[in-house]
Amino acid sequence: GENVEQHPSTLSVQEGDSAVIKCTYSDSASNYFPWYKQELGKRPQLIIDIRSNVGEKKDQRIAVTLNKTAKHFSLHITETQPEDSAVYFCAAISSGGYNKLIFGAGTRLAVHP
Amino acid sequence: DAGVTQSPTHLIKTRGQQVTLRCSPKSGHDTVSWYQQALGQGPQFIFQYYEEEERQRGNFPDRFSGHQFPNYSSELNVNALLLGDSALYLCASSLARGASTDTQYFGPGTRLTVL
């Protein structure tokens, strides 16, 4: 069935370091991959997304790369700050259409000052 | 421009009871999806409503049902509540554009506790 695996489950970095979170997906027809940040007790917020017609997208300190052949995509955060601490979820859209998102299990990122 | 809103924010019910959760989509959006997020896990897709009809459903029992109104707002109903239904219920709105779809924006969620 449809599945998205996310690693690592927890990530601890020092302020200023880079953080990388990796996801793999099973449905080769998936064509949209968003990343959400969820702070404790708050809603998931979209931070960046990528569609299958591009291999990389960047927005200030955040970038996402996509390898369709290998069916994996990654989130890169550079120059991490304490406010980046949160749970990050990757997701892939189901090829069944209609915007059904399949989420990874999440990565808890802790940025230490 | 109002974002996605949900009510109530918290709810406590006992086993066997029924619950109704509500969602108003972001202005201009016409599609509402519902997700269940258990503690420490990623959101799981329940179902999606478009043009007042359920058009896709995840692996949830028939105890979970929904509705979409002409103003695009939506309700999620859960009957015969089980302890395992305790979770954060998230609503996400988007704009359907024919075969392609737009970004989903989430509401703040309703925290349901079943005792």
Q: Which pLDDT tens digit goes with each residue over A53-73?
A: 889 999 999 999 999 999 999
CB contact B60 to A (< 8 Å): no
Find the CB nearest A49 among B50, B96, B103: B103
A110 pLDDT band (50/70/90 cuts)?
very high
CA distance readout (Å), B96 to A55, A95, B35, B51, B75? 24, 15, 18, 10, 19
Task: Provide the residue type at B95 as one letter.
Answer: L
Tokens of A74: 């990654």
User: Tell me, what's the pLDDT at B98?
Assistant: 55
Angstrom distance (rounded) from CA A110 to CA A96: 35
Find the CB nearest B106 among A43, A94, A105: A43
CB contact B73 to A (< 8 Å): no
Q: What is the mean pLDDT of residues A90-94?
A: 91
Percent of chain B with pLDDT over 90: 83
Is there a contact between A98 and B50 if contact means CB atoms under 8 Å apart? yes
User: Tell me, what's the pLDDT at A28?
Assistant: 86
Nearest of A81, A87, A112, A74 to residue A37 by alpha carbon: A87
Q: What is the pLDDT of residues A5-60, one digit of tens each?
A: 999 999 999 999 999 999 999 988 888 999 999 999 899 999 999 988 889 999 99
CA distance readout (Å), B92 to A53, A84, B50? 24, 23, 12
Find the CB nearest A43 among B96, B101, B107: B107
B103 pLDDT band (50/70/90 cuts)?
confident
Do residues B108 and B6 make contact, with C-beta atoms less than 8 angstroms apart? yes
